[in-house]
Amino acid sequence: MNIIKKSIMRMNKIKKRLLCLFLSALFVFSGAAAAGNEDVFAIGMVCSAGATINPYRCTQRDLISFNELVFESVIDFDDSFKPVGELALSWQQEPGGVYTFKLRDNVRFHDGTYLSSNDVLAAYEYIISLGEACPYYSRCQYIKKMEVVDLYTVKVTGKYESLLTLYAMTFPIAHRNTLSQELACGTGPYWYIGYDLEWLQIDANPYWWKKAPTINTLFGIRYDDTGKALVALSMGEIDALSTRSQNAALSRLLSDRTGVDYTTLTYEMLIPNLKTTIFESVYTRQALMYAIDITTIASNIYMGMVTESEVPVVPGTWLYETQSAIYFESQERALQLLYQAGWGDYNDDGILDQVVDGVLEQFEFTILTYDDDTAGTRTHAAEMIRDQLKPLGINVTVSTSQKDSVQKKMKNEDFDMVLCAMNMSMLPDLTFILNSQGRLNYSGYDDTGMNNLLLNVYETTDEVQFQYIFSQIQMKVAQELPFLGLFFRKGTIMTTADLSGLSAVRENDALRGIEYVEFH
């Protein structure tokens, strides 16, 4: 198949499409005819050679996006990240954290067999058996027990009496006899035709329970890095590419291509060590938020590939509190708050001071950070923050280290402030960064009120109440600043075609809605 891939690289777009159609006919099994029209769409995949595409073991972003078109779940997320039924036709919530799901009775797997509650139970048990090797294991930890009631009914007891149980049911369902297979059998709009570790092909599923896809064949071609994939896009070897690189995303501004941006779950933040006297006062932390020009950092350093947010909830989603956007760049307001916190230039040296235990202590600290790319993006961001704080009399030093070294210092509380990123979850549970005992609560934030709010999330099944609790959590974060939230990173789908039909594209689901795109 390496020969096929190299041949594709040399072909013009018409020949490439003809080859894809040939492969489609070659690999179709069970005698089923392909649904939809004969359009073919080629997509670049940046992933490791030999990466698995089994939905329960796959961890590569671009491959997961293909899996999202092949497999469905009992519960899915709508455009606002709100849980809605997918394979579940309906459900009932009962006391004790019990949810009873009624499955659709017209859903067939790619081999023609019908979905049943036994497949849901088998998928859940398989995920549990894989443990942390499975990317869906953590969400399944919110499930205490699952039982089959009848052919199309599943009874689930949540670990908590909470709406979180619905979120836990968003894992992919494969036919119970194919769970461990590389090409597992799903119920989605596409099915796997072939995969040889260098390319993959999925075709429209003739048994799909929804409207037939308009694009018959999606062909994925693997590249070692984004640079090579970009060259392939410019040469017409592929039609689209998903990337999170802000430098690569600049090419979407070229006249021959368009970009569809989406917000990822990677959240950039400044974490202060609250056990140091310099950041003890909330007025000091609030002053820093007013002093830092986040918008300029976003545009000049991150090339606009971010979505600003002062709280770790994606803006525009159903749980996001718009009132949490409190801060704006204001040196004047920052100085007012610094004076309230007891800071002042008491020795006229241009650096703010504060009297601590009878000793004059200067306002100076180190921002520790690391870089994920060769462009040094996070280092440049820290340097811009340093430059923005200097006119206020705040002396900042920037120190860049390897990620492992930074993480070690954070765990040992050996830092002043860290500029870092955290990968948030689709599940609305912020205990890990906000609870006083949270495993990633590196700032040392300890607040009884916040702990109680986080507990309330575990005890609420009502949507309105759940939303209200999350609003309170976000407002408390914005006001007390256990960390200084900056923004979520963005990704983009770069294409030479019109992909305006894509809807609510998101991380790990970058091809969402492509089945209905009118491609010419």
3-state secondary structure (DSSP) of residue 238 = coil
For each of the chain's 520 residues, which pLDDT tens digit applies?
A: 343 444 344 344 434 444 444 444 444 433 333 334 447 899 999 999 989 999 999 999 999 999 999 999 999 999 999 999 999 999 999 999 999 999 999 999 999 999 999 999 999 999 999 999 999 999 999 999 999 999 999 999 999 999 999 999 999 999 999 999 999 999 999 999 999 889 999 999 999 999 999 999 999 999 999 889 989 998 999 999 998 887 666 666 665 677 788 999 999 999 999 999 999 999 999 999 999 999 999 999 999 999 999 999 999 999 999 999 999 999 999 999 999 999 999 999 999 999 888 889 999 999 999 998 778 999 999 999 999 999 999 999 999 999 999 999 999 999 999 999 999 999 999 999 999 999 999 999 999 999 999 999 999 999 999 999 999 999 999 999 999 999 999 999 988 887 777 777 888 999 998 988 876 5
Nearest by Cα to 297 from 380, 416, 374: 380
Number of Cβ within 10 Å of residue 464's Cβ equals 8
Any idea what the Cα angle at residue 324 is, between residues 387 and 432, rounded to 5°?
85
Distance CA 383, CA 391 (A): 14
**Backbone φ, ψ for residue 52 (5° rounding):** -75, 150
Separation between Cα atoms, residue 172 and residue 126, nearest integer Å: 11
Closest CA to 286 of 336, 344, 321, 322: 336
Residue 487 pairs in a beta bridge with 268, 308
Question: 73-173 falls under which CATH superfamily?
Answer: Dipeptide-binding Protein; Domain 1 (3.90.76.10)
Of 86, 41, 92, which is closest to residue 201 (Cα–Cα)? 41
CA angle 21, 22, 28 (to 5 degrees): 85
Is the domain 265-490 a CATH 3.40.1020.10 member?
A: no
β-partners of residue 40 are 217
Which token pair is 398?
């920037």
Q: Is 280 exposed, middle or buried (0-12, 13-18, 19+ CB in 10 A)?
A: middle
Instruction: Please choose, from the candidates 259, 250, 76, the residue with its C-alpha nearest in 3D space to the C-alpha of residue 173.
Output: 76
Fold of 2-68+188-239+496-516: D-Maltodextrin-Binding Protein; domain 2 (3.40.190)
| Domain range list for the chain | 2-68+188-239+496-516, 73-173, 265-490
Nearest to 515 by CA among 35, 93, 129, 33: 35
Assigned token pair, 500:
């305006």
- How many residues are present in the chain? 520
Contacts of 512 (CB under 8 A, 6+ apart): 68, 502, 503, 504, 505, 506
Beta strands in 171-236 (DSSP E): 172-173, 190-195, 199-204, 217-223
Radius of gyration over alpha carbons of the chain, in Å? Answer: 25
* Residue entry with tokens 């659709």: 104
**pLDDT at res. 423:** 96
Residue 315 and residue 306 in contact, taking contact as beta carbons nearer than 8 Å: no
Q: List the end-to-end C-alpha distance of the chain, in Å, as a whole number.
A: 27
Query: Given this model, what pLDDT does residue 39 score?
Result: 76
Where helices occur in 273-400 by DSSP H, the ranges are 282-291, 294-300, 331-340, 377-389
What is the token pair recorded at 418?
């860290």
pLDDT of residue 4: 40
Helix, strand, coil proportions of the chain in percent (round to 5)? 35, 25, 40
Name the DSSP class of 319.
T
Nearest to 386 by CA among 409, 403, 363, 354: 363
